[in-house]
Structures are given as structure tokens and as C-alpha cells.
Amino acid sequence: MAPLRDLLRTAEDLAAVLVVAALSILPLAELLGREVAGTGVPGSIPLVQHLTLWITFLGAGLAARADLLLALSTGEFMSETWQRRAKALTSALAVGITGCLAFASAQLVSVDYRYGGTVAWGVPVWLFSAIMPIGFALIAVRLIRHGSRGSKGRSLVALGLLIPAALGFLFDTPGTVIMWTAGCALLLAMALGMPIYAVIGGAALLFFWHEGTPISAVPGETYRLSTESMLPAIPLFTVAGYILAEGGASRRLLRLFSALLGWLPGGVAVVTTLVLAFFTPLTGASGITILAMGGVLLPMLMKARFQKRDSLGLVTVSGSIGVLFPPSLPVILYAFYAELDLARLFVAGLLPGVLLVIVVAGWGAWKGWRGEALRTPFRLRELYTASWEAKWEILLPLLILAGIFGGFATLVEAAALTVFYAVVIECFVHREVSLPRDIPRIVVESAVMVGGFMIILGVALGFTNFLVIARIPMHALEWIQQFIQSPYLFLLAVNIVLIVAGALMDIYSAIIVIVPMIAPMAAAYGVDSIHLGVIFLANLQLGYITPPVGVNLFLSAYRFKEPLVHIYGSTLAYFFILLAAVLFITYVPALTLWLPQVILD
């Protein structure tokens, strides 16, 4: 059994590396061919889009293998015994839902096999869609494996596969009582830590079953991942960010910002905020920067005589502070999901993003100044040396902006160029990352993150499709307008809802679930769609540090081995400061809309 498992592990890792390599090379070939020969590579664009479907399910399988599928972190509040019981219960339910999704996906592949055409280069459609039932099946197997420690417990978890079969045998279509019961069970399972993709996928299956629609409609919508031109940029930017984080880019930027601003009162706090704000957009705005760089930044702050409490709070909050800056994946996903101009949304987020950085860095610097924190003397020679050492990292944002906004490359091509740039810098210029030894491992690690949230996006496409068909957003709007007439009160309600949502789910899930509901409402109240996007993302950034389950709070407690209550206390002042900044962004739309009008109109 073990050799077979090792062989499967190796095959998965190799497949992920090959898919990412193809995702990177094809857009570069398209860009080079267009610029040099005046024509791109025929069929490369649909191939890249369909490979996005593959990396989604390969990555989700890798995430399930490592037991890292995205879920609420509420298990921290239960005893170890109850954590095991909750894990087994939610895993059983997730196995049943995932088994349904695998079966429905197989039905879709069967149709593609009989009637589907080709994508490009003679490759049939069914060969790409086949990854869906395979991926869901692998996830189900791994949910069983991680659901319980012993073979007896795993057998009980596996019985979850019988839940949908039993329901289908007993009920042709579920009535109101069954719908409410199943819906409450899904919400309870989510609160107990069931993977979020299973919650959303289960809701989608439930609603389509209730309407008498074949459940293959859910994977049918998931297949749309392979038809969207913007989505391949997400795995590519993630890979580039992981490569840079693995190399010495953070160390070089830390030296540069220290030489530039370390002489200020509390300057080390400013340096910390800027370094993390630089890396957050490159690593997916997931708080992963806390894990990657917290071990360097926290000792640096304490060495400069910052209080430990203040240092913990600053690193925890700054771990997601750059969410509005290019090439932030949440911004890309929001633009895709809300059908907005990505360039305009990025430009609109610049000034609000700078404001958020300023208030965090300013409060940290003030705390350092009050505590008489040490400063780094300003030396022009050190600034020159640090700037020269970090020149390649400094040029990277300019490369991305030039590609996206300058018309030189599409978003996906700019992302592929970023991956190439990161590999060249870290493997051949600085030589801190080995191409044959380190890059495959980094690709697999980044694929885990990509799969973890892209699988949520995939099943949520089916869920939101049902919402649109059932006119749920319009009914919700009619209900809200009975109680709220003022757009200012509406925006206040939006802020409250988004902060709570950001505290209860990851930013990607929140975008997928909430945008279809809020966007039509905001339009009815006359709120600019770009302004709404910035409000949305700024609030969800605040949700990262909102008790009780803001994701940065748990990451920080895990990274620094501190009680969760201590982390809550260290971030409380930052929460209220950022809340004031978010409200300012909300009620002063000029801060968001002025720059796009100047630059793009």
C-alpha cells in the first residue's frame, strides 16, 4: 500500500509541476511570437485556460493530501476530544458531498466524450474535464484518511458516501423540511470546520436537486474555470510570489527599507509594514507572509526595543496589509467575479491601500517612539548598497504594472513573465534557489494554496448560478429597500456584513459568495461599482484581524506559539484604527475614484 501511495504522490507532484510549467511557457511563447513574428501560438490561449482547470483540481488534491483544505478555524475553541469528533462528523458529510460531485462530474465527462469537440492541437475536451471526477474522487479518499485516526473510524467516515444515496432513495425532490434540515446541517458542519468548498458545493447540489435540475449542472458550471481569460493569472502570480519568498527577496527588501526609513522615530515599524505590504500581493494575500517572514521580523522589532505585545500586533496586522496593491489575487478575483475593468480597480485601490499602510505604520512607529525604540542611523552608502542589492525586486512591480497597464501584455502574459523573472532572479542572478532541487517543491507548495481556494471558486460558480436563476439578489434587494432608504445607511450595513464575513471565512470564499448578492444592491443605491470593490476588499482585509476567527490571528498564534487571547489583545488597537480608515474609504469616494479619472480617462 505504501509504495502505491508514494507512486501516486510522485505522480501528482510531477503533474502539478508540468501543468504549471505549461501555464508559464505558453503565454510567454504567445507574447514572444506576437512581438517578434507578429503572430501568437495558435491554440495557446484555450489550452492555458483549460490547464487552469487542471491545476485547480491537482492543487485541491494536494491540499486534501496535506489536510489543508480551507475551513473555519473554530476547532481551536474545542478540546482535543471534541476536535476529533467534529473532524469525523464533518469529514463524513464532506465525503458524501464530494462523492456526489465526483459522480456528477463523471456524467459531464461522459457527455463530453460522446459529443464534445477539441480544445486545440487535436486535444479533446473530455481529456480536460476528466480531471474533475478524478480530483473529487481523490479528495474524498483523503477526507476519509484524515477524518479519523483508526481504521474503524475511517470506515465510519466512509459511510458518508451513503448519505446522498439514502436521501435520493427516500425523496425524489426534497420538501421544505428536508431543505431546512439539510441547510442547518451544512451551516453547523461549516462552524465545526468542514471544508468550505464542501459547504458551498453541498448547498449548490441541494438547491438544484430541490428544483429538479440534474446535479451535473454544478460541475457544468465548474467547467467555466476553463473558459475565463483572467483566471490563469492567479496560479502564475502565486507561484512567482512563493519563489520570491523562498529566495532572499525579503531580506534584501528589509535591508533597503531599513536603510531608507530606519532612522525615523519607530522606523523599524515602518520598515516591517512596508516589507509585508510588498509581499502580501505576491503571496495571495493569505497571511502566508506571517509564516514566511514573521520569524525574521518579530525578533528584529524586539531587538529594536519594541514591546513584544506591540511587535506581535504589528506583524499580525501587516501580514495582509497590501491586499489592494497589484498583483493582488483578491483584486483579480473580484474584478473577474464582478465583471469590472481590472486596470481601473487596481488604480482605484492605490490611494486607499496607501492610506491603510500609513495608518498601520504610523501607529506602530508612534508606539516605538513612545517606547524609545532604537533607530538605524542613516548612511548614504548603505542606502546605495541596499538599493543596488534589491534592484531586481524594486523593478518587479514596474514590470507587472507595465505589462498590465501599458498594453505590452495581457494579464496572464504579465503573470507568466513574472514567474520567468522570479526564476531568473532567484536561480541565476542571486543563486539562492536551485532550479532542479527547489523549484518543483515550491511549485507543489503554491499549488496547494491555489487548489485550496480555486476549488471553492469552482463549486461556487454553480451555487451563484442558482442564485441568479432564482433571482435571490433581486428579492433580497426588495426586502432591504423596505427598511433602508439612505445609501449611507446601506454602506454602513455593507461594512458590518463584510467585516463579519471576513472574520468567518477566507477572502476568496467571501468574494465568491457575497459579491453576487451585494453588487446589484449597491447599484440600486447608486454606489459606484469600482468604489464598492475597494470597500469590499478593504473590509475583508480588516476581517483578517477580527476576533474570534480572523485568519491572521490564528496564523500568528501558530507561528509565534502565543495564546490566541494574547494575539487578540495585541491587535485590538490596530483593529479600531483600520476600522476608522475603512469608514473613511467608504464615505469619501473621491479617494477611490479620483486617480482612475486622472490616469485612465
- Minimum mean pLDDT range among 99-103, 206-210, 478-482, 526-530: 478-482
Residue 363's pLDDT is 92
Match 489583545 to its residue by C-alpha cell: 569
Cα–Cα distance list, 74 to 149, 285, 564 (Å): 20, 21, 12
In the predicted model, is pLDDT for residue 172 greater than 70?
no
Identify the residue with better confidence: 296 or 521.
521
Residue 139's pLDDT is 94
| Model confidence band, residue 507 (pLDDT cutoffs 50, 70, 90) | confident
Match 506602530 to its residue by C-alpha cell: 364
In the predicted model, is pLDDT for residue 185 greater than 90?
no
Residue 369's pLDDT is 86
Grid cell for residue 138: 481523490
Residue 15's pLDDT is 92
Grid cell for residue 293: 517572514
120: helix, coil or strand? strand
Round to whole Å and give the CA distance between 461 and 204. Answer: 9
Domain coordinates of the chain in residue numbers?
11-226, 264-375+470-600
Round to whole Å and give the CA distance between 428 and 421. Answer: 10
- Decide if 420 contacts 224 (C-beta within 8 A): no
Residue 2's pLDDT is 66
In the predicted model, is pLDDT for residue 467 greater than 80?
no
How far, in whole angstroms, is CA 236 from its chain's centroid?
A: 13
- Minimum mean pLDDT range among 167-176, 289-298, 468-477, 516-525: 167-176
In the predicted model, is pLDDT for residue 450 greater than 90?
no
Round to whole Å and give the CA distance between 272 and 266. Answer: 11
| Model confidence band, residue 23 (pLDDT cutoffs 50, 70, 90) | very high
pLDDT per position as a tens digit, 423-437? 999 999 988 889 988
Grid cell for residue 406: 501599458
Residue 136's pLDDT is 94
In the predicted model, is pLDDT for residue 208 greater than 90?
no
Residue 77's pLDDT is 65
Cα–Cα distance list, 405 to 322, 326, 327, 350, 519 (Å): 19, 11, 12, 14, 25
- Decide if 332 contacts 342 (C-beta within 8 A): yes
Burial class (CB in 10 A: 0-12, 13-18, 19+), 393: buried
What would the mean pLDDT of 258-275 be, rounded to a whole number?
A: 86
284: helix, coil or strand? coil
| Model confidence band, residue 282 (pLDDT cutoffs 50, 70, 90) | confident
pLDDT per position as a tens digit, 572-600? 899 999 999 999 999 999 999 999 998 88
In the predicted model, is pLDDT for residue 214 greater than 70?
yes
Residue 73's pLDDT is 64
pLDDT per position as a tens digit, 508-566? 777 877 887 888 888 888 899 999 999 999 988 888 788 766 777 777 876 787 877 78
Grid cell for residue 311: 511587535
Identify the residue with better confidence: 493 or 283.
493
Residue 332 one-letter amino acid: I
436: helix, coil or strand? coil
What would the mean pLDDT of 480-488 be, rounded to a whole number?
A: 81
Residue 284's pLDDT is 61
Identify the residue with better confidence: 558 or 155.
155
Grid cell for residue 121: 492541437
Match 435520493 to its residue by C-alpha cell: 168
Indicate the average pLDDT of the chain.
84
Residue 548's pLDDT is 66
pLDDT per position as a tens digit, 34-92? 877 777 778 888 898 889 999 999 999 999 998 888 777 666 667 778 788 888 888 89
The neighbouring-strand residues paired with 120 are: 123
Round to whole Å and give the CA distance between 475 and 271. Answer: 48
Round to whole Å and give the CA distance between 263 and 158. Answer: 60
- Decide if 284 contacts 322 (C-beta within 8 A): no
pLDDT per position as a tens digit, 112-135? 888 878 888 888 989 999 999 999
Range among 245-259, 268-282, 569-583 with highest mean pLDDT value: 569-583
In the predicted model, is pLDDT for residue 248 greater than 70?
yes
What would the mean pLDDT of 484-512 be, rounded to a whole number?
A: 80
Residue 500's pLDDT is 77
pLDDT per position as a tens digit, 402-417? 777 777 788 888 889 9
Identify the residue with better confidence: 111 or 79.
111
The neighbouring-strand residues paired with 123 are: 120
123: helix, coil or strand? strand
In the predicted model, is pLDDT for residue 359 greater than 70?
yes
3-state DSSP: the chain helix, strand, coil percent, rounded to 5? 80, 0, 20
Burial class (CB in 10 A: 0-12, 13-18, 19+), 408: middle
Round to whole Å and give the CA distance between 57 and 307. Answer: 44
Residue 519 one-letter amino acid: A
Residues in the chain: 601
What would the mean pLDDT of 432-447 be, rounded to a whole number?
A: 90
In the predicted model, is pLDDT for residue 151 greater than 90?
no
Share of the chain above pLDDT 90, in %: 22
Cα–Cα distance list, 290 to 277, 505, 517 (Å): 11, 18, 32
Grid cell for residue 72: 473555519
Identify the residue with better confidence: 475 or 598.
598
Which segments of 119-223 does DSSP mark as H helices, in order? 125-129, 131-147, 151-158, 162-170, 176-191, 196-210, 217-222
Round to whole Å and give the CA distance between 59 and 37. Answer: 35
Identify the residue with better confidence: 512 or 325.
325
